[in-house]
Chains A and B, each alone.
Chain A
Amino acid sequence: MRRALRIYVPLALYGIFLMLPFFWMILTTFKPNQELLNTPNPFWVFRPTFAHVTDLLTQTAYGRWFANTLFVSTASTVVSVFISYITAYAIIRLRFPGWQAVSTAIFLAYIVPPAILFIPLATVIIKLHWFDQLWALIPIYCTFLVPFCTWLLIGFLKNIPRELEEAARVDGASNVAILWRIIFPIAVPGLISAAIFSFTLSWNEYLYALVYMSSSGNKTVSVGMTTELIRGDVFQWGQLMTGALIGVLPAIVVYFIFVEYYVAGMAGSVKE
C-alpha cells in the first residue's frame, strides 16, 4: 500500500498530464464532426469514423508534406551523422594543431539557437537561390545537427580505449583505415544515438521551414498544417488532430525502436 502511494499514484498523475494531448489527438481523429462540438462526454467517441483520415489524405496536400518531411529528415540525418563522425574523430584522435579551439567552437555553435539566425540566414538563402527549394533544408538543418552530433560523438569516442588502434598501428594500419575499420564498428551505438536525435530534431524543426519554404509542395508537416489547414478562425479540428497524430508517429516509432540509445544519449549529453 505505501509503495503504491509513493510510486504508482504520483506516476499516474504524471501520466495523465504528460499523455493528455496524445490521448486527445487519438480521440479527435475518430470523432465525427458533430461530436466535436456537441457531445454528452468529450472524453469518449460514440460513433467512430475514418472520415477525417480519408479527407486529410485525399483532399489536402498532407501526403506530400509528410513525404517532404521524411525526405529532409532522413537526408539531413545521414549527412550530419557522417560529417559529425569524421569531425569528432579528428578532434579526439588526431589532435591536430588547434583541435581545442575547434572543439570549443563546435560547442558554442551548438548553443546558438535558430531563433537568432533565421533573419540573416534568410538573406543568405535568397542570395544563394535556395529559397523555396526543399533540398536546401538539408544543409540548413545540418547547421544545428552537426554541432549537436559532434559533441555527442566526442563524448562517445573519448571512452573508446586507445589500445585497439595502437595494436592496429603497430601492424601498419593508416589513420584512415583505423577511422573506418577499427573505430567505426565500435562507435555504432554512438552513431545510432546521434542518428535518432538528428531524425527527431529534424522532424520537429519548424522556424526555418516556415520562413524559407513558400509553395505548398515544398512544405513540411508542421508548416503545412499551421499555414494551410488553419484558415483564419476556421479550425478543422478533426483534420488537424488526424494530421498531428500521423505526424507524431514517425518520431515516436523511431524513438520506441531505439529508446535505450535515446535515453543513454540524453543522459550522456548532461554527464560528459
Chain B
Amino acid sequence: MTSRPGVLSRLDSPRVLGYLLIAPAAVLLLGLLAYPLFLGVWLSLTSATLGNTGEFVGLRNYATILADPTFRGAVFYSLFYTVFAECGKLVLGLALALILNQRFRGYRAARSLMLLPWVAPTVLSALAWLWLLDPQFSALSWLLTRMHLIDQNIDFLGHPWNARITLIVVNIWRGLPYFAIGYLAGLQGISKDLYEAAAIDGASGWQQFRRITWPLLLPITTILLAFSSIFTLTDFQLIWTITRGGPTDATQVFTTLAYQRAITGGQLGEGAAIAVSPIVFMAVLAFFVVRSVRDR
C-alpha cells in the first residue's frame, strides 16, 4: 500500500506524464508519417514495382524522369498552376475580405455562405464543374451564346491551354474563401484609429490601403500564401477529377503523374521519385512558414 502513492506521484511528474501523453501521437506519426516519408525517398532510389521490392539503383529514376518530356511538362504545369492560382486567390480573397469587413446587413449570412466552396468535398464540387464545363451541353457556353459573347460552344477542357486555365479558375474558386477568411481576421485586428488619423491628414482610400492596410497584412499574407501554395502544388483531387492530367498530358502535375506511374503503371520507384520531387519547392515554402510563425 505504501508504494502506490509513490508510483502514482511519479506517474504524475511532468516528465513521465508528458512522455505518456505524447506517446500515442508519437507512435502514430513515426509509424505512418515519418517512416513512409523516408521510405519514399528510399523507394525513389530503387527499381521497386508493385509486388517486387526491386534493388538499389542510385539516381537512375531521377535521370529517367528528368529526361522524360511528360515529367518536365508536369513540373511546368505544377508551377504554372500554383503561381497563377495563388495570385488569383490572393487578389480575389483580399477583395472579398475588404467587402466583408464593412459591417452591413446580412454580414454573417454572406460570410458563412462564402466559405462553402472551401467546406464542400473537392471531388464532389469538381464533378459539378465538370458537368458545367461539358463540351456539348455546357450551361456556361449556353449562357455566353445567349449573351452573344460567343457563337459556338467553348471546349473548356478539350484544348491544352483551355484546360490549363479552366483548372486554375476552379482552384481559385475553391481556395479564395480561405484567403478571404484569413484576411478578414487580419483586417479586424487593425486599429480604426490608424485610418482616422490618416483621414485627418487627407489620405485617400487608396493611400490608406497602400500605407496602412497592406503593410499590416503582410505577415498574414506570407502565412496564407505559404500554406496554400504547399497544398496547391500537391493538389490531386481537383485535377484528377476534372482532366486526369489530360488532354494529352497538358494538365499533368506531380501528383497525377506519380499516381499514374506508381499505382496505375506499377512503377513504384519511378512514381516515388516523381512524388518526392516537389519537396524541393516545398522546402523553400516551409522555410517561410516556419520563419513567419516563429516571428509571432
Q: Say if the beta carbon of A97 comes within 8 Å of chain B.
A: yes
In the complex, what distance in Å separates the CA atom of A10 from the CA atom of B290?
35
Which residues in window 236-275 of B have CB below 8 A to A? 236-237, 240-241, 254-255, 258-259, 262-263, 268, 271-272, 275
Q: Chain A residues near B182: list those with CB within 8 A.
A: 266-267, 270
Among candidates A25, A117, A211, A256, residue contacting B128 with C-beta atoms closer than 8 Å: A25
Identify which of B22-30, B67-75, B152-160, B193-201 touches chain A.
B22-30
In the complex, what distance in Å separates the CA atom of A140 from the CA atom of B104?
43
In the complex, what distance in Å separates the CA atom of A251 from the CA atom of B115?
12
Q: How many residues of A contact B (CB 8 A)?
A: 96
Closest Cβ of chain B to A219, distance in Å, is 12
In the complex, what distance in Å separates the CA atom of A247 from the CA atom of B121?
8
In the complex, what distance in Å separates the CA atom of A24 from the CA atom of B279?
37
Among candidates B104, B123, B235, B254, residue contacting A222 with C-beta atoms closer than 8 Å: B123
Q: Say if the beta carbon of B6 comes within 8 Å of chain A.
A: no
In the complex, what distance in Å separates the CA atom of A201 from the CA atom of B43?
28
Q: Say if the beta carbon of B19 comes within 8 Å of chain A.
A: yes
What residue of chain A has the Cβ atom nearest to residue B241's Cβ? A226
Q: How many residues of B contact A (CB 8 A)?
A: 98
B230 touches A124 (CB 8 A): no
B129 touches A119 (CB 8 A): no
Q: A6-B102, A116-B279, A120-B43 are in contact. Are A255 and B14 (CB under 8 A)?
A: no
B271 touches A119 (CB 8 A): yes
B12 touches A176 (CB 8 A): yes
What residue of chain B has the Cβ atom nearest to residue A243's Cβ? B124
Q: Say if the beta carbon of A99 comes within 8 Å of chain B.
A: yes
Q: Chain A residues near B117: list those with CB within 8 A.
A: 18, 21
B43 touches A21 (CB 8 A): no
What does the 1/0 interface line of A230-259 toward B look like (CB < 8 Å)? 000001010011011001100110011001
Identify which of A47-55, A100-108, A159-167 touches chain B.
A100-108
B125 touches A251 (CB 8 A): no
Closest Cβ of chain A to B155, distance in Å, is 15
Closest Cβ of chain A to B38, distance in Å, is 8
Interface SS of A by simple majority = helix
Q: Say if the beta carbon of B83 comes within 8 Å of chain A.
A: no
Q: Chain B residues near A122: list those with CB within 8 A.
A: 262-263
Q: Say if the beta carbon of A200 comes within 8 Å of chain B.
A: yes
A116 touches B268 (CB 8 A): no
B39 touches A120 (CB 8 A): yes
In the complex, what distance in Å separates the CA atom of A263 from the CA atom of B259?
34
Q: Say if the beta carbon of A157 comes within 8 Å of chain B.
A: no
Q: Say if the beta carbon of A67 comes within 8 Å of chain B.
A: no
Q: Chain A residues near B99: list those with CB within 8 A.
A: 6-7, 10-11, 14
A89 touches B125 (CB 8 A): no
What residue of chain B has the Cβ atom nearest to residue A151's Cβ? B293
Q: Say if the beta carbon of A170 comes within 8 Å of chain B.
A: no
Closest Cβ of chain B to A226, distance in Å, is 6
What does the 1/0 interface line of A182-206 toward B look like (CB < 8 Å)? 0000000000000000001001101
Closest Cβ of chain A to B189, distance in Å, is 8
Q: Chain A residues near B113: list those with CB within 8 A.
A: 15, 18-19
B139 touches A24 (CB 8 A): yes
In the complex, what distance in Å separates the CA atom of A6 from the CA atom of B101?
12
Q: Which of B40, B122, B173, B271 has the most CB of A within 10 A?
A: B40
What does the 1/0 interface line of B212-228 toward A look like (CB < 8 Å)? 00000000100110010
Q: Say if the beta carbon of B96 comes within 8 Å of chain A.
A: yes
B173 touches A123 (CB 8 A): no
Among candidates B8, B25, B111, B282, residue contacting A150 with C-beta atoms closer than 8 Å: B25
Q: A10-B95, A247-B124 are in contact. Are A83 and B289 (CB under 8 A)?
A: no
Q: Which of B40, B102, B123, B125 has the most CB of A within 10 A?
A: B123
In the complex, what distance in Å separates the CA atom of A56 from the CA atom of B146?
33
User: Closest 7 A-B residue pairs measured CB to CB?
Assistant: A96-B18, A267-B185, A21-B128, A115-B234, A120-B40, A222-B123, A90-B21
